[in-house]
Amino acid sequence: MTIRGIVFDFGGVIHDMRWDVARELEEKHALPRHALFETLYRTPTWKAIECGQGDRQVWLDEAHQLLETRAGRALPRLHDAWRAAQGPIDRNVALARALRPPYRTAILSNADSSLRSRLRERLGLHELFDTVVCSAEVGMAKPDHAIYRLAAAQLELPPEACVFVDDLEANVTAAREVGMAGIYFRVDRGDDLTAQLAALGVTPS
SS3 for 134-166 is EHHHHCCCCCCHHHHHHHHHHCCCCHHHEEEEE
pLDDT of residue 109: 98
3-state helix, strand, coil in the chain (%, to 5): 50, 15, 35
Spatial CA neighbour of 107 closest among 4, 15, 199: 15
pLDDT tens digits, 48-88:
999 999 999 999 999 999 999 999 999 999 999 999 999 99
* Calpha distance 68→39 (Å, rounded): 10
Residue 6 pLDDT exceeds 90: yes
Whether the CB-CB separation of 196 and 163 falls below 8 Å is answered with: no
Residue 164 pLDDT exceeds 90: yes
Q: pLDDT category, 116, cuts 50, 70, 90?
A: very high
Region 131-152: mean pLDDT is: 98
pLDDT of residue 200: 97
Residue 193 pLDDT exceeds 90: yes
Question: What is the end-to-end Cα distance of the chain in Å, rounded?
Answer: 19
pLDDT of residue 89: 97
pLDDT mean across residues, the chain? 97
pLDDT tens digits, 7-62:
999 999 999 999 999 999 999 999 999 999 999 999 999 999 999 999 999 999 99
Region 88-92: mean pLDDT is: 97
* Calpha distance 128→35 (Å, rounded): 33
Torsion of CA 168, 122, 49, 90, to 10 degrees: 0
pLDDT of residue 205: 79
pLDDT of residue 60: 97
Sheet containing 104-109: order of strands:
131-134, 104-109, 5-8, 162-166, 181-184
Paired sense of beta strands 87-88 and 162-166, if any: unpaired
Q: pLDDT category, 124, cuts 50, 70, 90?
A: very high
Whether the CB-CB separation of 164 and 181 falls below 8 Å is answered with: yes
pLDDT of residue 82: 98
Cβ-based neighbours of 150, under 8 Å, separated by 6 or more: 133, 138
CA angle, corner 115, sides to 70 and 18, nearest 5? 50
* Calpha distance 41→36 (Å, rounded): 8
Q: pLDDT category, 1, cuts 50, 70, 90?
A: confident
